[in-house]
Amino acid sequence: MRTTVSLGLVETTELRHIFESLMMFRTEGINVPGITVYCENGRRTWLVVANEFSITITGDSADFSGAYKLPLTIVANAARPRAASGTVGFSISNGMVTSESASGKQTLPCTSIPMPKSRRIASTPSAASASLGGKELLYTIFSGANPPFETNMTDEDDERKTPDHFTMQIGDGELRVSSDWTSARLYVMRASTAATTTGSGQIKVDPDMMNILYNCVDEDTNWTLSFDPKESLNIVLESDTHYIVAKMVLAPAVKLQERIVKILDREKFEYQTTSDGTVAVRHDGVVMSVDMYQRDGDEAPLVRLSTAVTRDANESAELLREINAHNQSGTVTRLWFDKGVVHLAIDILSDNLLGLAQGLRLLSTEAGRLRGVLEPFAAEAALPPQRRSRRRTVKPKVQPEVWDD
């Protein structure tokens, strides 16, 4: 006996919301195995799930049982601009789904699946949220996280580095968004807008989040953006019709910091975190930086442990000779001179953090030993200007001064 299940008549607005979500995934080349449709609280509900995102779209009133996985094509073709005329009816019979409008019909295979579990994120006491209009939300994200207008207006041949994250901050009746483009020799982008806020917090976000915002946020709708700055696992965007969860949106280097802090706690190191993500550690009187660098391509982030061995040093021939001898000795630490400071560093891969504590202890020991060796040479007269080394030096981050010694 053939049974037909009617999913109801789907209006243009509902179809448009679905189509824009599907096109976002398609444009980004994200694999989506299908779209699920079911009834929840008497309303038709559409669910699209990918590795890092899930989008739930609530449609009009409906009354049918079961949940069905539909191919993207039948929904996209019905929702595509100018494809259908007016409302579109969907029905399921004998493992096939049919869409029908004034323009015609399309029938494709579909499957019946178990009812999806709720994908709503439980609220926590430390969660922060901002409620505001879609137009204000989009403007703030665009102004604070998009590349500066001058990004491609350059005659320089060298590659400009783009930031691996942007920052969202909620608090004091405002949503603030910023991104640091100084590595591209530009400036920091900052934007803010008034919002109804609860709690406060800051989170670093992968730029892929902007694709969700641009494609799914309706300007004419009110939205609530929320996250837990302590958990930092999900960002939630919610409106009357959408519930969007962006998973694992933190940049890899930001996630890495959480692992590093846990190791420092376990090993009982004295440390402080700074506003730019650097972790400052003090061991045996030596202040060290732990920096995370996201490398090009899909390579894992690099962890650099560094400290300043001596400051106000002259670039003397004897000092440079000692630096070169140290670097050629086969030691895991390396030295370099930059703007009157001799730096000492160890680089470790993020998948080998078991060596972090040992590296910090080694770095502090070596810094203490080398300080006594290098300071006399650092006090020698500097090389004449015409004899200065023309080698390229590694540009270090400024050593964080988080303790008053």
Size of the chain in residues? 405
Phi, psi of 318 (to 5 degrees): -65, -40
Contacts 24+ apart (CB under 8 A), 213-216: 213/137, 213/138, 213/141, 213/237, 214/24, 214/138, 215/20, 215/21, 215/23, 215/24, 215/27, 216/17, 216/20, 216/21, 216/24, 216/55, 216/242, 216/244
**Helix, strand, coil percentages for the chain (3-state, nearest 5):** 25, 35, 40
Residue 288 backbone class (left: φ over 0; alpha: ψ -120 to 50; beta: rest):
beta
Tokens of 178: 């910023």
Q: How far apart are CA 212 and CA 145, in angstroms?
A: 13
Q: How far apart are CA 30 and CA 145, in angstroms?
A: 22
Estimate the crossing angle of helix 134-145 against helix 209-216, to 10 degrees: 150
Asked whether the CA dihedral 39, 42, 44, 48 is positive or negative, the reply is negative
Q: What residues does each domain of the chain span?
A: 4-113, 128-228, 253-387
Per-residue pLDDT of the chain (405 residues; tens, 9 = 90+): 568 999 999 998 898 888 888 888 887 777 888 999 999 999 999 999 887 788 999 999 999 999 999 999 999 888 887 666 678 999 999 999 999 988 889 999 999 999 998 878 888 888 899 999 999 999 999 999 998 888 776 655 445 567 878 889 999 999 999 998 887 888 899 999 999 999 998 888 878 788 888 888 989 999 999 998 776 678 999 999 999 998 754 455 556 777 888 899 999 999 987 655 678 999 998 999 998 776 554 456 788 999 998 888 888 888 888 889 998 888 899 999 888 888 999 998 877 788 899 999 999 999 989 888 888 876 666 666 544 444 444 444 555 555 554
Q: Indicate the SS3 state at residue 178.
A: strand
* CATH number of the 4-113 domain: 3.10.150.10
Tokens of 74: 């039948």
Tokens 């400071």 belong to residue: 341
Phi, psi of 303 (to 5 degrees): -110, 125
CB atoms within 10 A of CB 274: 13
Same fold, 4-113 and 128-228: yes
| C-alpha torsion angle, residues 197, 199, 205, 211 (rounded to 10) | -30
Q: How far apart are CA 47 and CA 244, in angstroms?
A: 10
User: What strands lie across the sheet with 188-194, from one edge to the other?
Assistant: 188-194, 174-180, 166-171, 201-205
Q: How far apart are CA 183 and CA 128, in angstroms?
A: 30
Q: Where are the alpha helices (DSSP H) in 29-115?
A: 72-79
Closest CA to 119 of 202, 2, 36, 13: 36
Provide the whole-model pTM.
0.62
Domain spanning 128-228, CATH class:
alpha beta
Distances in Å between the Cα of 36 and the Cα atoms of 50, 58, 72, 369 are: 12, 12, 10, 64
**E strands of 120-269, at which residues?**
128-133, 166-171, 174-180, 188-194, 196-198, 201-205, 222-227, 234-238, 242-247
Question: What is the fold of 253-387?
Answer: Yope Regulator; Chain: A, (3.30.1460)
